[in-house]
A and B are shown apart, each in its own frame.
Chain A
Amino acid sequence: SAVISQKPSRDICQRGTSLTIQCQVDSQVTMMFWYRQQPGQSLTLIATANQGSEATYESGFVIDKFPISRPNLTFSTLTVSNMSPEDSSIYLCSARTGGNKQYFGPGTRLTVT
């Protein structure tokens, strides 16, 4: 299994600013992902964080808006750039172990005013 922590747990930000979310896994994992969950909705994959190379983004998400880093096998960051109220959401870090099970962090609740 994998235990995932995220910082910050929540934040309130002004429009036009940026927020960087950190994700730490307690063990080396093969894959890391970032998801977004809007209130009352399901989860949507933003990107796969690739260790040592550029992230792979899903349709509708771009690197300029959501830059991602993954410097090693246990850590990743997601930045939400030039925020607008539409970016208010829960952002979830996820990791997959060698056994293919996927685990999630507690999420970062972002409110943009």
Chain B
Amino acid sequence: GIQVEQSPPDLILQEGANSTLRCNFSDSVNNLQWFHQNPWGQLINLFYIPSGTKQNGRLSATTVATERYSLLYISSSQTTDSGVYFCAVEGAGTASKLTFGTGTRLQVTL
């Protein structure tokens, strides 16, 4: 099946700093989504972005499908950004099933 790797695995930032999270995938995808799992375990959908670039406030994401990677940018980080960020992909021909990446654990400190 499709492999999804995220980097870095762990990241510690001071409040106000910017960061870039990367997601690499091993095959063509029909669907790619970014999620934030907050410290209480709730998963929040950040972006549906199989290709192109989207922005939502301090967050933006870019997927370059032909090169099999996606980037999530967090600007002016806040302590509420802490948690785990997951990239999830649906490989071409995998019948609407999302495969989750390994995750990036982000801690934003004061």
Contact = CB atoms under 8 A, between A and B. Distances in A.
A106 B41 contact: yes
How large, as a class, is the contact surface on chain A? 20 to 34
Given A104-B45, A106-B42, 8 more contacts: A31-B96, A42-B103, A43-B88, A44-B100, A58-B97, A96-B96, A99-B48, A104-B42
B100 A43 contact: yes
Main secondary structure of the interface of A (DSSP, over half): strand
Interface string B78-89: 000000001010
B13 interface: no
Nearest to B99: A45
Contacts of A42: 86, 100-103
Nearest to B103: A42
A92 B107 CA distance: 24
Interface string A62-103: 000000000000000000000000000010100010011111
